Amino acid sequence: MSGTRYTKEHEWVRVEGDTATIGITAYAAEQLGDVVFVELPEVGRKVMKGEGAAVVESVKAASDVYAPISGEVVETNSSLADEPGTVNQAPEGGGWFMKLKIANRNEIDELLDEAGYRDFLGTL
């Protein structure tokens, strides 16, 4: 996934045109354990980088999913309401949370690339 960027809070971002798809990493999904509920933001909501944008609940804990970049929510993965386990099965694929219309492309450059994220995981 060479076009994917990451945060130290374990979110990933994949950019296509002026839209960014956002989810949590396989590491985050593994740490959470079995996901039982996902609360997604409303379409049309504007989020700022670092702001809590969604909530994921597992058998272990509830955690915020932070917006890795600023933007407007243009789509959410509504299938997660009925199948939250998709987050565990395909965290960096079908388990995505939301799509944002990118407000500031420069914020993407501030995120970790795949090698940087791998290196960061090695410090945990």
Predicted local distance difference test score (pLDDT) of residue 97: 98
Return the structure tokens found at 98. Answer: 């939301």
Return the structure tokens found at 91. Answer: 């965290």
Predicted local distance difference test score (pLDDT) of residue 40: 97
Q: Using CA atoms, how far apart are residues 29 and 95, in angstroms rounded to an integer?
A: 10
Taking the chain (124 residues) in runs of 10, the rounded mean pLDDT of each run is 84 96 96 96 97 95 95 98 96 97 96 96 96
Geometric angle at alpha carbon 77, from 72 and 46, rounded to 5°: 15
Predicted local distance difference test score (pLDDT) of residue 3: 85
Predicted local distance difference test score (pLDDT) of residue 23: 97
**The listed CATH number (3.40.190.80, 2.40.50.100, 3.30.565.10, 1.10.599.10) that belongs to domain 4-117:** 2.40.50.100
Encoded amino acid at 101, one letter = K
Predicted local distance difference test score (pLDDT) of residue 1: 36
